[in-house]
Amino acid sequence: MQSFNSIRENIDKFESVIGYNFNNREYILEALTHSSYSNENRKFKYNERMEFLGDSVLGLVISDHIFKKEKKVPEGELTKLRANIVCEGSLSEAAKKIDLGKYILLGRGEEATGGRERKSILADAFEAVIAAIYLDGGIESASKFILNNLSNIIKDSIDGKIFRDYKTQLQEELQKNGTSNIWYKLLEENGPDHNKTFKMMVGVDEKELGIGEGKSKKEAEQVAAKAAIAYLIDNER
DSSP H helices, the chain, are: 4-18, 25-31, 35-40, 48-69, 75-85, 88-97, 100-103, 108-112, 119-137, 139-158, 166-175, 217-234
Q: Which of 127, 136, 173, 221 is catalytic?
A: 127
Q: Which of 55, 93, 124, 173 is catalytic?
A: 55
55 an active-site residue? yes
Tell me which DSSP letter residue 33 carries. Answer: B
| Amino acid in position 211 | I
127 an active-site residue? yes
Are 110 and 124 within 8 A, CB to CB?
no
Q: Could you tell me if residue 99 is left (phi over 0), alpha (psi between -120 and 50 degrees) or otherwise beta?
A: left
> Is the alpha carbon torsion for 152, 150, 159, 229 positive or negative?
positive
Residues annotated as part of the active site = 55, 127
